[in-house]
Amino acid sequence: MLPIYNCEAVQRFAAMGGIYGNVPALEACLNDAKTHQCESFLFLGDAIGCCGHSDEVVQQLQQQFHVLIAGNHEQQAAAGLLTCGCGYASPEDERLSCMAFAYAMEGLSEAHRQWLGTLPDAAILTTSAGRVLLCHGSPAQTNEFLYESELSDRRLNQWLDEFDIVGFICTHSGLPWIRPLNNGRFAVNCGVVGKPDHDGDPAVHYALLTVADGQITATIQRVEYDYRAWAEMLEQEGVDPIFIEPLRTGFWTTGVSSLPAPQCQRSISRLSQFFD
């Protein structure tokens, strides 16, 4: 049974996921959401990761967010495992992600590890425009990657019917998208706070949802932060360069082999712009 949160009085939500221990990026996104008069902050999982600083991020979750669910990182940490459980198609991508997860576990206190174990795997919001599901990967599986190019409206609508919802919000893939469906229904990937979306832009993203006139509309918010200073700090702390480079360049060094062809082509097109 999923927990249900009554949010019928809320008109503006901020949905964030994939923080990966990136403290300044999280603070920048929270500040941006506050300037847009967000009334409720939603966390969709994977607070901890390659940047370490796990306890700092967990404290922000406890202080700033109103509704929280677990991602695969929280599930694995709560179980005391040292693997990330990301579910990448490429074994090498999974190996590197597990390497990143080791940084997360080094900076996580036992008290916070146990607290992460209290987070539900998914949740339902009741809004004045209908019920909305919060999930990490997909409504069916915590570590399922929902890439926009592979999604059919039929599959999305089947999930909406199954859970009796008008829409759902997910994260996990690191690539934000919005899919409007018939009759005001929708699906949204809010992107991630902790790293850029593999397009050559170091900025990070979250989703802003507005409830008005019986409908929910979503936008993806682009947020800048001082990634240079953060990358330098991580270097001094000994974080492997493979996890620092994307913060500076906006292009991933891990997870690329698991991307579907259309997402790879999009990134190649963006990369070519830097060398034309």
| 210 Ramachandran zone, left/alpha/beta (phi>0; psi -120 to 50) | beta
Tens-digit pLDDT profile for residues 210-225: 999 999 999 999 999 9
Domain extent for 184: 4-273
Q: What's residue 274's pLDDT?
A: 41
Contacts of 233 (CB under 8 A, 6+ apart): none
Tens-digit pLDDT profile for residues 241-257: 999 999 999 999 998 88
Q: What's residue 276's pLDDT?
A: 45
For residue 169, the 8-state DSSP code is E
Report whether pLDDT(264) > 90: no
Measure the CA–CA gap between 106 and 272, rounded to whole angstroms.
38
Q: What's residue 257's pLDDT?
A: 87
pTM score of the predicted model: 0.94
Are 208 and 192 a contacting pair, CB within 8 Å? no
High-pLDDT (> 90) share of the chain, %: 88
Measure the CA–CA gap between 111 and 74, rounded to whole angstroms.
13
pLDDT band with cut points at 50, 70 and 90 for residue 12? very high
Looking up tokens 């259309």 gives 262
Q: What's residue 44's pLDDT?
A: 98
pLDDT band with cut points at 50, 70 and 90 for residue 269? low
Work out the average pLDDT over 63-89. 95
High-pLDDT (> 70) share of the chain, %: 95
87: CATH: 3.60.21.10
Report whether pLDDT(272) > 60: no
In the chain, % helix, strand, coil (3-state, to 5) comes to: 40, 20, 40
Mean pLDDT of the chain, nearest integer: 94
Cα–Cα distances in angstroms (integers) from residue 126 to residues 46, 160, 161, 190, 231, in the given order:
23, 14, 16, 19, 39
Work out the average pLDDT over 43-60. 97
pLDDT band with cut points at 50, 70 and 90 for residue 265? low
Report whether pLDDT(270) > 90: no
Provide the domain count of the chain.
1
